[in-house]
Amino acid sequence: MTNPMQAKKRPFKGHEAKHFLFETDADGRVATITLNRPDKKNPLTFESYEELGDLFRALSRASDIRVVVLTGAGANFSSGGDVFEIIEPLTRMAMPDLLDFTRMTGELVRQMRACSQPIIAAVDGICAGAGAILAMAADFRIATPEAKTAFLFTRVGLAGADMGACGILPRIIGQGRAAELLFTGRVMTAAEGHAWGFYNAVHERDTLLAEAQKFARTIADGPWFAHAMTKKMLDQEWAMGIDQMIEAEAQAQAICMATGDFRRAFDAFAAKTKPVFEGN
């Protein structure tokens, strides 16, 4: 009998994006999204914001993709919102339209955090404004020594409170460091970002993407149902007290213990072989 919930899923290998590049490895487990406007340092547009949000939302129904790598073309990650395609039109909009825009951009972060697949940001060169937000919203971040990360909103007369920055960034690097970056808009170097915990690792430019995809593969070949649970708990527990945290994790772990992956891992350990995880 066909499982109706499994029937709702579909492979994303071969998916064609309009406003960025999308490709997967041979079996479709690792997807790489490349912001692909290198002549302008990969800025975001109204269309790419919306398409990225829709893609991360749709990945909840992916039958193949287990990890996403997010990067930029041409030795830069992203310069943020395109000055002439986004910033200039915003200066002429009325408040209701501005609110629609800021909600749309925030929705992209919401969908990045909500999708079950861990996201690895591979950052080189300029990572500024909304580009820095995308890196922040990822689950892991690796960089090159040349990475320059800046939350530039204050430089254009805006608050640092953009797309969840005031809530998420302090949880990554601490309140004082986050306040400094959000108030000043200054560049955080790769060395600072690594020391502060924003970047998990730093690799040379010519190995960055390969290292990101290698790391992605190790996660994709692991217990990916359990990884999705870990991501969900990391998000949900921000707003919980200790009692709620303990109970939520008790339920989450019991769910994982009921999967075949848990039994297969034990059997493999007993047989001194490598476990094969199937996500069920």
Start-to-end CA distance of the chain, whole Å, equals 17
4 or 201: which leads in pLDDT: 201
3-state secondary structure of 80: coil
Q: Are residues 135 and 69 in the same domain?
A: yes
Question: For residue 256, what pLDDT is reported?
Answer: 86
Q: Are residues 216 and 89 in the same domain?
A: yes
8 Å CB contact between 183 and 166: no
Radius of gyration in angstroms for the set of CA atoms belonging to the chain, rounded to a whole number: 19
d(CA 201, CA 91): 38
Q: Are residues 42 and 119 in the same domain?
A: yes
H-helix segments, 95-174: 95-114, 130-137, 165-173
User: What domain range is 197 assigned to?
Assistant: 4-220
For residues 202-211, one letter each, b for 16 or more C-beta atoms within 10 angstroms of the residue's C-beta and e for the rest, the string is bbeeeebbeb
pLDDT-derived band at 81, boundaries 50, 70, 90:
confident
Does a structural domain hold residue 89?
A: yes
* Res 253 pLDDT > 70: yes
Q: What is the bridge-based pairing of β-strands 188-189 and 148-150? A: antiparallel
Q: Are residues 161 and 244 in the same domain?
A: no
State if pTM tops 0.75: yes
Q: Are residues 248 and 168 in the same domain?
A: no
Q: What is the bridge-based pairing of β-strands 201-202 and 140-143? A: parallel
pLDDT-derived band at 1, boundaries 50, 70, 90:
low
d(CA 35, CA 135): 12
Q: Are residues 104 and 53 in the same domain?
A: yes
Q: State how many domains the chain has.
A: 2
Q: Are residues 44 and 151 in the same domain?
A: yes
pLDDT tens, position by position, 25-68 = 999 999 999 999 999 999 999 999 999 999 999 999 999 999 99
pLDDT-derived band at 90, boundaries 50, 70, 90:
confident
pLDDT tens, position by position, 123-170 = 999 999 999 999 999 999 999 999 999 999 998 888 999 999 999 999
195 or 245: which leads in pLDDT: 195
Q: Are residues 60 and 193 in the same domain?
A: yes
The average pLDDT across 12-16 equals 92
Does a structural domain hold residue 177?
A: yes
H-helix segments, the chain: 4-7, 46-58, 88-90, 95-114, 130-137, 165-173, 175-184, 190-196, 208-220, 224-236, 242-257, 260-271
8 Å CB contact between 105 and 86: no
Q: Are residues 140 and 253 in the same domain?
A: no
pLDDT tens, position by position, 198-249 = 999 999 999 999 999 999 999 999 999 999 999 999 999 988 988 998 999 9
Q: Are residues 182 and 264 in the same domain?
A: no
Question: For residue 199, what pLDDT is reported?
Answer: 98
d(CA 174, CA 118): 22
d(CA 155, CA 159): 9
CATH number of the domain that residue 130 is part of: 3.90.226.10
